[in-house]
Amino acid sequence: MSSKEKPTLGGARIKTRKRNIAAPLDPAAFADAVVQIYLENAGDLELVAKSIESSDLNFSRYDLKKLPVQVVFTGGRTQTGTIKPEEGERHPYSVLECEASREVILPSVIYIQKILRRKPFLIKNLENVMQRFLQSLELFEENERKKLAIFTALAFSQKLSGLPPETVFQPLLKDNLVAKGLVLSFMTDFFKEYLVDNNLDDLISILKRGKVEDNLLDFFPPTKRSAEIVSEHFSKEGLTMLVEYNEKKIFEVKLKEMKSSLTTQIAEEVDVDEVIETLKQQVRDAKFPDIEVVRMLWDVIMDAVQWSGKNQQQNANAALRQVKTWAKLLHAFCTSGKLELELIYKVQIQCYEDAKLMKLFPEIIRNLYDQDVLAEDTILHWFRKGTNSRGRQTFVKALEPFINWLEEAEEED
């Protein structure tokens, strides 16, 4: 036997394995079989779920065809790429055929939840169907869109698997849907339904995960994007908490812009009179509360201090120099005793929280008095009746010599 020949076993028979031959897909027959289960159980979703669980239908083979969830929403198959019904068996117990109320739609949500727990491979199925339906809102009747909104709200309330917020909100933000007001109508119904069982924080959390929490104006047609219209719309719908939330977001945006502008001006050492004029115009345009302006001014001025971090006296000198430099700016906006008192509270809190400033409180107050930012009456009122307790006992004691000087000067006058 040649060394190049391979040895063989005489008489051995080599068997070839037969390949599994899969039956061809038949979406129509499969859909009809699923619909038949609904019809046999008269739409009782509890019985339907049990029947599907015990059936020999191979749902996994039709996952990409989106059939199971389609049947829940539309009662049968829809034509590829559309929401139009396909030929074949249909049942009358679908979401789109039922009454537009939470009591009637909730069982369908719970039913899908049970099906997904037993057949988790259908989770993607739900996501795909919802995306397609929401992108096609204009093809539904108004009552059907409301049912979809109620279903979506209940799905989030029930924490239905397979429905991440971005799946719902991002497909909605198509320009044509927004322009026609369909998105606003859908989201309004969604908000009202979701807030029945959940609080505003839960709603904001969902909006954040859906990347749409920053501006509710995105849901409004371009011609109706104003704070006044947003407030009017949601107030009319009984969603006052959303009005307050939106106003807060607008306030935060304007505050951030104002802070940024002021920080730049201070860093560039723009003339104080010019800074005052610019800021007053911004305050008028934004209708900014005076008390918030005073709080912001102190924060920005102190944030601009160049701390050395090495010598405590140098830090103290830098802080006092900053107060003196921009005292005229503070004076321009501390136009009442109430606003002056608010400034003292801001100084008190920062000195309490920042170790570098803890011993500087009396010097800052004295400096602000010398620069005519704080009036004597305001300082005495804080000393005797101040309501903020943070570090108060320490600061009152530290300020006593200055208070005694003020009282003596008052007696001499």
Q: Could you tell me what percent of the chain has a pLDDT over 70? A: 85
Q: Is the pLDDT of residue 70 over 80?
A: no
Residue type, 72: V
pLDDT value for 30:
75
Least confident of 60-69, 113-122, 132-141: 60-69
Residue with tokens 């026609």: 180
The number of beta carbons lying within 10 Å of the beta carbon of residue 211 is: 12
> Length of the chain in residues, anyone?
413
Greater model confidence, 336 or 57: 336
Residues 137 and 203: their CA atoms lie apart, in Å, by: 22
Least confident of 65-74, 311-320, 369-378: 65-74
Kindly give the interhelix angle for 392-412 and 361-370, rounded to the nearest 10 degrees: 40
pLDDT band at 54 (very low <50, low <70, confident <90, very high): confident
Q: Is the pLDDT of residue 8 over 80?
A: no
Nearest to 355 by CA among 400, 301, 307: 307
Q: What DSSP character marks residue 387?
A: -
Highest mean pLDDT among 55-69, 82-96, 157-171: 157-171
Determine the average pLDDT of the residues in 368-384: 94
Listed in order, strand segments (DSSP E) in 38-193 are none
Query: For the segment 139-169, what is each residue's pLDDT rounded down to a tens digit?
Result: 889 999 999 999 999 999 998 876 788 888 8
* Burial track 252-267 (b if 16+ CB lie within 10 A, e otherwise): eebbeebeeebeebbe
Determine the average pLDDT of the residues in 99-121: 86
Q: Is the pLDDT of residue 367 over 90?
A: yes
Task: Give kind and range of the element (H or E) at residue 408.
Answer: helix 392-412
Q: Is the pLDDT of residue 408 over 90?
A: no
pLDDT value for 86:
66
What is residue 85's three-state secondary structure?
Answer: strand
Pull the structure tokens for residue 24. 């061809």
Nearest to 73 by CA among 118, 42, 47, 38: 38
Greater model confidence, 119 or 267: 267
pLDDT value for 117:
82
Residues 138 and 134: their CA atoms lie apart, in Å, by: 9
pLDDT value for 33:
80
Backbone angles phi, psi at 135, to 5 degrees: -75, -15
Q: Is the pLDDT of residue 306 over 90?
A: no
Determine the average pLDDT of the residues in 103-116: 88
How much is the mean pLDDT over the chain?
85
Least confident of 114-118, 289-293, 399-403: 114-118
pLDDT band at 64 (very low <50, low <70, confident <90, very high): very low
How far CA 378 is from CA of 12, 39, 243, 293, 402, in Å, comes to 109, 79, 36, 18, 13
Nearest to 201 by CA among 190, 216, 211, 213: 213
Residues 409 and 413: their CA atoms lie apart, in Å, by: 6
How far CA 179 is from CA of 187, 242, 298, 398, in Å, comes to 14, 21, 43, 62
Query: For the segment 323-358, what is each residue's pLDDT rounded down to a tens digit?
Result: 999 999 999 999 999 999 999 999 999 999 988 888
Pull the structure tokens for residue 165. 């917020």
pLDDT value for 1:
47
Q: What distance, in Å, lies between the first and last C-alpha atoms of the chain?
A: 132
Query: For the segment 204-244, what is each residue's pLDDT rounded down to a tens digit?
Result: 999 999 888 877 889 999 999 988 999 999 999 999 999 99
pLDDT value for 9:
44
pLDDT value for 6:
52
Greater model confidence, 307 or 241: 241
Q: C-alpha angle with apex 324: 320 to 326, nearest 5 degrees?
A: 120
Nearest to 329 by CA among 263, 402, 255, 252: 263
Q: Which residues pair with 208 in a beta bridge?
A: none
